[in-house]
Structure 1
Amino acid sequence: MKSEKSVMAARPSVRRRIVGNAVVKAVSTAALALAAMWGDAAHAGGPLQEMTYLLPAPQSEIAFAPLMIAQYKHYYADEGLSVRFVTVQGGAEVGKQLASGNGDLGGGLGDTPIVLRQNGIPVKAVALFGGQALHQFVTRADENITGPAALKGKTVTVMSYQDTSFYATLAVLAKGSLTRQDVSVQAAGPSGIWQLLAQGRADAMVGTPDWAASAEAAGAKLTWHSTDAYFPGMAQAVLASDRTIATRPDLVRKFVRASLKAMAEIERDPAAAAKDYAAAVPSWQARQPFVTRVLVYYAQHVYPGQSRIGAFDPVRVEKLQDFYLAQKIIRTRVDAKDLFTNEFVE
């Protein structure tokens, strides 16, 4: 059999046809991409402003449903934004990268600025996805762990030591008069955090409802406790550096408005939102009932409790900072106005 090279050399017409088809394909691909870009731009009435949002865990985590739904339903494009999501290792790392200028906005917990500010990292929370704590303190039912004090000598998983789940774990331990030295805290990543729990290689976990539900789906029998029961932790937050807030307030406001629009839809009708989310993140399409279950939990146990959607409760922020200080998780207090702002929440 002759090689393609020899055929093309012997038959110029074949060569012209192959090259021509390649050019047509390239032009068609470029045209489709351009059409998509201008299609999105049409939502905003003009070219889109590009921005980077740093995620503390993989984009496919259901915890990020408000962001993925807002992207899928063109809410960011409607605001004139083209959002690129980039994953880093944990909320604390998100804050550090934002302060260094390596991203426009990012995600963490409402707690995150409390931990970072006292280390001189100038980030602030600009919107909060719910009035209750995001993190759940989840234990294996067969371990009969009745509270934080019963964790002594046990193994607890967190996503990473840079993630705010680790600081939430320290707070839970402190409530039981324990320290990190009294337990084995394993930073297991976004998959290992629940897999070790499901496999019985860990006794407890501090993490999102998504991960606890994944462990149960894998066969583990668990006992759930919101970390609200032990300290006034907070939900996910949108974080921004002081520089971005000062120089690009319109970008912050547009992103917050689009994201909270999607969050409100989830809280109002989590089953319908699960369909949108499965369409936005195709890897979940075959598990839509699972997605619905998780979003129902968010709608009932994480999102409620705000005086205004997206707004911070100054009293809760102060109580949380006092708790972190009393438990020596932080060394100094920071003025609350440097930790959060409600100016971008409408």
Structure 2
Amino acid sequence: MHTILAAVGCAAALAVGVSTPALAAVEEVTYLLPAPPNTLAFAPWMVAQQKGYYAAENLKVTFVAARGGVDVAKQIGSGNAVIGGAIGDTPIIVRANGVPVKAIAVLGAGSLTMVGVHQNGGIKSLADLKGKTITVMSYTDTTYYALLGNLKTIDLGKNDAEIEAAGPSGVWQVFAAGKSQAMAGVPDWIVSATDAGAKVDIIETNGFKSMAQAILASDDTIRNKPDLLKRLVRATLRGMEDIMNDPKGATAAYVAAVPSYRGKEASVEKTLNMYRKYVYANQKPLGHIDPARMENVQKFYVSEGIVSKASAVNDLYTNQFVAAGAK
């Protein structure tokens, strides 16, 4: 039947003198992520991949891990990849060093970096971190800089605590084992520590409004491949929107994409709900970057010496792909 219908369709096209255009070749894209793709923080990307949202944009996306968000930005700025993930703060850090990248979407209105401490450990505020051991993923990841930014709000510097770079797994494993008193990282690491037996409290970090995960691209790619970026943003935001609208369904899609989480669906759903509540919520339109927030974060980084100089705010971000991506 399908063959007959296809033949009839071709005949009808020829009868009216219409030629059938050839399908465009699938575009292959390497998408850099700041940690291994199976890290739960990247659920929007994995859900989008599993549900065929990139394929629907005629894209074949391969995810590759870099060494933190700053490394992602440097690789993109050097032309080694057209797109990557980091945190919305990352362009502030690298642009000051001449790396020509912008944030082209931010996944949520909240902050990605959270500071977890042990319940009944005597740490009730950031000030109590003085002299304590704090695990982070690396010294080149933006979550580390966000931690420094939070410490600076209470006049503490990096030498006022023992900050240990432990890698994407060690950041929570060392903490869960009781070998550190605090950890700075993403919500899924908080859940991982809880699943490993740690009783965790989240301490207040509103003094420094770090941003959520961002999609980054270079000035050159923004200028020369805007349609490609529009499709990548649109597909990724669909993955985030699925998590917001249906965490249980998104959990099933995520586990199908990352089978190592089979049997851990409860933890996955708990993590996605944390993102939904604390990171993704209250953003309109989805992916939108707030210029005032970007400017305020940059002012803080510069005033505290985390970056040497300010960049023009318009050089740090663009919302040109968000309206198209949110449709």
Aligned to 1:338: 315
The answer on 1:114 being equivalent to 2:114 is no
Q: 1:222 aligns with which of 192, 200, 210?
A: 200
Determine whether 1:74 maps to 2:74.
no
Q: Mapping of 1:297-336 within 5 angstroms?
A: 297-336=274-313
Match of 1:240, SS state, is: strand
Which of 126, 146, 170 is the aligned partner of 1:168? 146
Partner of 2:264: 287
CA deviations over 1:299-345 (Å, ceiling 9, x no partner): 11100122210001111111111121222211211111111110001
- C-alpha contact (below 8 Å) 1:131/1:234 kept by paired residues: yes
Taking the aligned partners of 2:113 and 2:230, their CA distance within structure 1 comes to 26
Any idea what SS the aligned residue of 1:142 has?
A: coil
Equivalent pair of 1:271/1:296 in contact (CA under 8 Å):
no
Any gaps of 5 or more consecutive residues in structure 1?
A: 1-43
Q: After superposition, give the CA deviation of every residue in 1:237-270 in whole Å (9 maximum; x if it has no partner).
A: 0001111111111111100000001111111111
Partner of 1:97: 75
What is the CA distance between 1:45 and its match in structure 2?
4.8
* Higher helix proportion (structure 1 or 2): 1
Whether the 8 Å CA contact 1:133–1:226 is kept in 2: the answer is: no
Checking the alignment, whether the CA contact within 8 Å between 1:94 and 1:106 is kept in structure 2 is: yes
Deviations 1:140-182 (A, max 9, x none): 1232212222111111111011111110111111122111111
1:86 to 64, 75, 83: 64
State the aligned residue count.
302
Q: Which residue of 1 aligns with 2:15?
A: none
The letter for the 1-side match of 2:254 is Y
Relative to the length of structure 1, the TM-score reads 0.85
What amino acid maps onto 1:135 in structure 2?
T
Q: 4+ residue stretches of structure 1 with deviation over 3 A? A: none
Aligned counterparts of 2:79 and 2:289: Cα–Cα separation in 1: 25
d(CA) in 2 for partners of 1:143 and 1:262? 37
Per the normalisation by structure 2, the TM-score is 0.90
Superposed, 1:130-279 pairs within 5 Å as 130-225=108-203, 227=205, 229-279=206-256
1:59 aligned residue = 37
Q: Which has the larger radius of gyration?
A: 1
Aligned to 2:26: 48
The 3-state SS of whatever aligns with 2:262 is: helix
Paired-residue identity, %: 47
State how far apart, in whole Å, the 2-side matches of 1:83 and 1:307 are. Answer: 27
What letter is aligned with 2:183? M
- Secondary structure, counterpart of 2:44 in structure 1: helix
Partners of 1:119 and 1:183 in 2: CA distance: 27
> What is the letter of the counterpart of residue 80 of structure 2?
N
State the alpha-carbon separation in 2 of the partners of residues 285 and 125 from structure 1. Answer: 33
Shift of 1:295: 0.4
SS, match of residue 143 in structure 1: coil
For 2:296 and 2:121, locate their aligned partners in 1 and report how far apart those are by CA, in whole Å: 31
In the alignment, the residues of structure 1 paired with residue 170 and residue 54 of structure 2 have an alpha-carbon distance, to the nearest angstrom, of 32
C-alpha distance in structure 2 between counterparts of 1:255 and 1:104, whole Å: 10
Deviation digits for residues 38-63 of structure 1 (CA, Å, limit 9, x no counterpart): xxxxxx95421011110100111111
The one-letter code matched in structure 1 to 2:177 is Q
Say whether the 8 Å CA contact 2:133–2:162 is kept in structure 1.
yes
Alpha-carbon RMSD across the aligned residues, in angstroms, is 1.2
Q: Could you tell me how far apart the structure 1 residues matched to 2:61 and 2:317 are?
A: 23
> C-alpha separation between the residues in 2 aligned to 1:56 and 1:282?
21
